[in-house]
Amino acid sequence: MGLEDKAAKMIRTVVQVLEPQFAVRLWSGERIGPDDGPELVINDPQAIRRIVMRPKLDSIVEMWVSGQIDVQGGNLFDIAALGTRAKLKHRLKDLPKLQLLADMPSVLFGKPSKDSGLSGNNPFDAGSSKEAISHHYDISNEYYALFLDENMVYTCGYFTDWSNGIDQAQTDKLDHICKKLRLKPGETLLDIGCGWGSLLIHAAKNYGVTGHGVSLSEAQTALARERIRAEGLEDRITIEIKSYEVLEGTFDKIASIGMFEHVGSANYETYFSSVGRLLKPGGLYMHHAISRRAKRGKKAWRRKTAENRAIVKYIFPGGELDHLGMSIENLEGHGFEVHDVENLREHYGRTCRLWAERLESRFDEAVKEVGAPKARLWLLYLTGCSLAFERGTMQINQTLASKRVRGPSGLPPTRADLYR
- Please check whether residues 91 and 240 belong to one and the same domain: no
- Please check whether residues 169 and 312 belong to one and the same domain: yes
Residue pLDDT, tens place only, 296-331: 888 887 787 778 778 888 887 778 899 999 999 999
Overall average pLDDT of the 139-150 stretch: 93
**In this structure, what CATH number is given to the domain that contains residue 136?**
3.40.50.150
Q: Is residue 117 part of a domain?
A: no
Q: Is residue 124 part of a domain?
A: no
- Please check whether residues 243 and 361 belong to one and the same domain: yes
- Please check whether residues 243 and 305 belong to one and the same domain: yes
- Please check whether residues 245 and 184 belong to one and the same domain: yes
- Please check whether residues 154 and 71 belong to one and the same domain: no
Q: Is residue 296 part of a domain?
A: yes
Overall average pLDDT of the 343-360 stretch: 98
Domain end residue (candidates: 73, 108, 143): 108
Q: Is residue 113 part of a domain?
A: no
Q: Which of 5-19, 48-62, 228-242, 306-320 has the highest mean pLDDT?
A: 228-242
Domain that holds residue 55: 3-108
- Please check whether residues 103 and 140 belong to one and the same domain: no
Domains in the chain, number: 2
Mean pLDDT score across all residues of the chain: 88
- Please check whether residues 391 and 358 belong to one and the same domain: yes
The answer to which of 77-86, 157-166, 368-377 has the lowest mean pLDDT is 77-86
- Please check whether residues 297 and 335 belong to one and the same domain: yes
Residue pLDDT, tens place only, 363-405: 999 999 999 999 999 999 999 999 999 999 999 999 999 999 9
- Please check whether residues 134 and 80 belong to one and the same domain: no
- Please check whether residues 363 and 215 belong to one and the same domain: yes
- At CA 246, angle to CA 178 and CA 137, rounded to 5? 60
The residues annotated with a catalytic role in the active site are: 385
